[in-house]
Amino acid sequence: MAEADIDDLIEIIEKESNIEDIPKILPMMPVRDVVVFTDMLLPLFVGREKSIKAVEETVEYDRYIFLSAQKDSELEKPTAKDVYAVGTVGRIQKMIKLPDGRIKALVQGIAKAKILEYVKKRTFFKVRIEFLTDVDPVELSIENEALMRNVKEASEKLLALKGEFSGDVGDLLSHIESPGKLADLVASNLNLKVEDAQILLEITEGTERLKKVNDLLARELDLSTVQAKIQIDVKDEISKNQRDYYLREQVKAIHRELGENDEKLAEIEEFKEKIKKCKMPHDCEKESQKQLKRLEQMHSDSSEASVVRTYLDCIVDLPWSKATKDFLDIPKSQEVLDANHFGLDKVKERILEYLSVRKLNPQKKGQIICFVGPPGVGKTSLGQAIAKAMKRKFHRLSLGGIRDEAEIRGHRRTYIGSMPGRILQGLRQCGTNNPVFMLDEIDKLGNDFRGDPSSALLEALDPEQNFEFSDHYLNMPFDLSNVLFILTANMSDTIPSALLDRMEVIRISGYTRQEKKVIAQKHLLPRKLKDNGLIRRSIHVSSAAMELIIAEYTLEAGVRGLERKLDAICRKIARQIADGKKGKFSITRQNLTKYLGPPQYLTELDQEESQVGLATGLAWTEVGGEQLYIEVSLYQGKGELLVTGQIGDVMQESARAALTYTKANADNFGINKEDIDNNDIHIHVPAGAIPKDGPSAGIAMATALISAFTGRKVNNKVGMTGEISLRGRVLPIGGLKEKALGALRAGIDHVIIPEKNKKDLYDMPKVIKNKMKFTCVSDIREVLDIALEEKSNKENSDEEKPDKKRADN
């Protein structure tokens, strides 16, 4: 430490803080297990809700905060009586918000103060304070000088015992001339109990406080002396172990002279042979030989030798040059894909294209493919099918919930129990450097103070740089360019953009009912019969029963729920066979309830007939598309809008935009403006326990609103999706294929979509196009012409009667 630095530090300690500038009302934060002294600089981790709010409030008070110790550090929610009245006014020098919501703050003690009253207690503590002034003698007496010298010498002895003493520390202590400042400096660096430290803080007379510190320092010095003696005894024991090691080495030398086999030499030779067989790059082989030489010079039983041995085991087990030969027969590969998966033509076509390019150019760098789709559509099993088609090894790594970067890149070898990352461990298990490596649930990666795993994946998943992938444990480059990485996700929104940019995203939508039926008959049912020990010829599930299971017992984009229903049927049949019942079991529409109970998903009542103020929208979820009902009711009021159904901000804005458009164009729709002004409007989206958001329900809300004001029913067989602008334009949306599948499952045969989504119909499966009518619109008026039914004569006459009566009167 330079002389200038010491002078600056002494100046900070000796100067008196200008307490006149500090507010008398400050936010207060209780602290646990520590008492903050004046001029003390310490980091604080703030995690409690009240404390976080208090720290955030300091912005209004020039970053000043009152810090007082808790009487009981175990209390999570302390009250005013649980906190000491005397504390320290601190100033936050630096503040960092951590990913988990906590705050890390660097605080410096400024002045001692006492709580006069609590101004605020509910959301956080705010207190009125009174500053306490330390009283130091004007001139130091001989007794005080002797006391200060004794404290300084004892502090230097204590630091010397702990191995922390230096000349700079001695200079710092010698320059302090105030008993109070010296007492605070020494006390803040002693490992004191909270009760003892609080007693010191509350003593305002500097000499008395220094006497108390002197007593505590003497006790700490005695404890450290005993501790140092114990360490010397341990050192003597270690010296004895070294002597024993020397004798053991002599015994081994005697064994070698006698011609007996040396296990260590055999182990070294084995490693040399394995390193040679690995055929690793020159720099890696050089590093391996260096580590092997270190191992040769160590004692076999030392902890460091164990670390090096484990590291060398990892190196020689990695498949540096081992690779399987690709099977690139395209027709055969197509047969394998078709045998394992029904449908998914676009996905299969992309995989066959990859294999074709690989056949023509084996040196082409592997692309990163990401399958995005709802659960149960076969994303993971597709990866297995690709590995089977190419005759490569397959390894699956689930990323769901991983928060530690070391899971991907490994731990440094300096840590006890360190190991390579999950990618290199997977290659080590496969035994080849070109497997099909599936990273499952990439959208569910987390991050916290241990790092961001998604950032660690950037290098591994970039074909331009993964030929030199660096693992922290291996600490040498490993070539991942031959690995075929396949990723899966339920939704791409939560994948970091930098990571998403490195992938080719292939979206997999849900299955239609007809596709589910074929999948169930060809794949799911035979598998479940085998799993439950049943014979295929003794069980028959009729086509009508299978359709009923799909329509009324499952409601999903994939087939996982359907598989569970078939498993339930097989279990009940297995129970009957185990009880001795014989014969052929036939599952039909009539006896299906015997096996699965009553239907679980029935057509909603709202869909049975067209109604006023009820429109059918379409929603996208990460498990597929669903219908979304929009209900509008009017009641006497002042024209206020109420929106319910646990919907987000964007959807609420769509409701307000739809209402504004309706008001602005009331004359065009034959709506009496007095009806708008004299009625409150309640828009409700059922299934209120499920959060909903997004702009695509805009035209459905506008249709339901205009239906409610005009009294015209909304056609229940028409679904609609699209964002609405204030001028009535219908704007494009996303997830059209998933929404169309959801509408088809719900029995909707006519869907209104934005004109700008017409391009999405190109990739729409033919089975959907054949069963559904798609109408592209660009203005809300076109939507109303299609969706709103004309009033019947009865409805018109009912409305005319009151008018006639008013005219007669």
Asked if 134 contacts 113 with a C-beta cutoff of 8 angstroms, the reply is: no
The label of the residue with tokens 């959907």 reads 768
Instruction: List the structure tokens of 694.
Output: 């997004």
Instruction: Give which of 198, 127, 173 is closest to 6, Cα–Cα.
Output: 173
Instruction: List the structure tokens of 442.
Output: 């990439």
CA distance 277 to 287: 15
Q: Determine whether the annotation assigns residue 463 to a binding site.
A: no
CA distance 190 to 184: 10
CB atoms within 10 A of CB 437: 25
Is 323 buried (19+), middle (13-18) or exposed (0-12) by CB count in 10 A?
Answer: middle
Q: Determine whether the annotation assigns residue 805 to a binding site.
A: no
Asked if 8 contacts 106 with a C-beta cutoff of 8 angstroms, the reply is: no
Instruction: List the structure tokens of 419.
Output: 């190991």
Asked if 704 contacts 631 with a C-beta cutoff of 8 angstroms, the reply is: yes
CA distance 444 to 441: 6
Q: Which of 181, 516, 692, 739 is catalytic?
A: 739
CA distance 48 to 416: 33
The label of the residue with tokens 């769901």 reads 400
Q: Determine whether the annotation assigns residue 94 to a binding site.
A: no
b/e code 540-574 from CB counts within 10 Å (16+ = b)? ebeeebbbbbbbbbbbbbbbbbbbebbbbbbeebe
Instruction: List the structure tokens of 270.
Output: 């084995």
Q: Determine whether the annotation assigns residue 388 to a binding site.
A: no
Q: Determine whether the annotation assigns residue 373 to a binding site.
A: yes
3-class secondary structure per residue, 33-84: CCCCCCCCEEEEEECCHHHHHHHHHHHHHCCEEEEEEECCCCCCCCCHHHEC
Instruction: List the structure tokens of 482.
Output: 């031959």
**Distances in whole angstroms, Cα of residue 172 to Cα of each of 4, 14, 139, 150, 368:** 12, 11, 21, 15, 60
Residue 643's identity, in one-letter code, is V
**Distances in whole angstroms, Cα of residue 768 to Cα of each of 378, 615, 737, 739, 761:** 20, 22, 9, 11, 10
Q: What are the residues whose beta carbons fall under 8 Å from the beta carbon of 116, sequence distance 6 or more?
A: 127, 128, 129, 130
The label of the residue with tokens 């964007």 reads 650
CA distance 285 to 316: 10
Q: What are the residues whose beta carbons fall under 8 Å from the beta carbon of 331, sequence distance 6 or more?
A: none
CA distance 156 to 221: 10
Instruction: Give which of 664, 710, 722, 657 is closest to 683, Cα–Cα.
Output: 657
Asked if 397 contacts 386 with a C-beta cutoff of 8 angstroms, the reply is: no
CB atoms within 10 A of CB 40: 20
CB half-sphere exposure, 428, CA atoms < 13 A: 14
**Quick check: is 739 catalytic?**
yes
Q: Which of 188, 610, 696, 707 is catalytic?
A: 696
Asked if 379 contacts 486 with a C-beta cutoff of 8 angstroms, the reply is: no
Instruction: List the structure tokens of 431.
Output: 């035994």
Instruction: List the structure tokens of 62.
Output: 């020039």
Asked if 658 contacts 728 with a C-beta cutoff of 8 angstroms, the reply is: no
Q: Determine whether the annotation assigns residue 742 to a binding site.
A: no
Asked if 299 contacts 308 with a C-beta cutoff of 8 angstroms, the reply is: no
CB half-sphere exposure, 111, CA atoms < 13 A: 20
**Distances in whole angstroms, Cα of residue 265 to Cα of each of 4, 293, 481:** 58, 12, 37
**Rounded to 5°, angle at Cα 132 from 128 and 135:** 175
CB atoms within 10 A of CB 801: 9
Tell me the binding residues. 373-380
Tell me the binding residues for ATP. 373-380
Catalytically active residues, by annotation: 696, 739
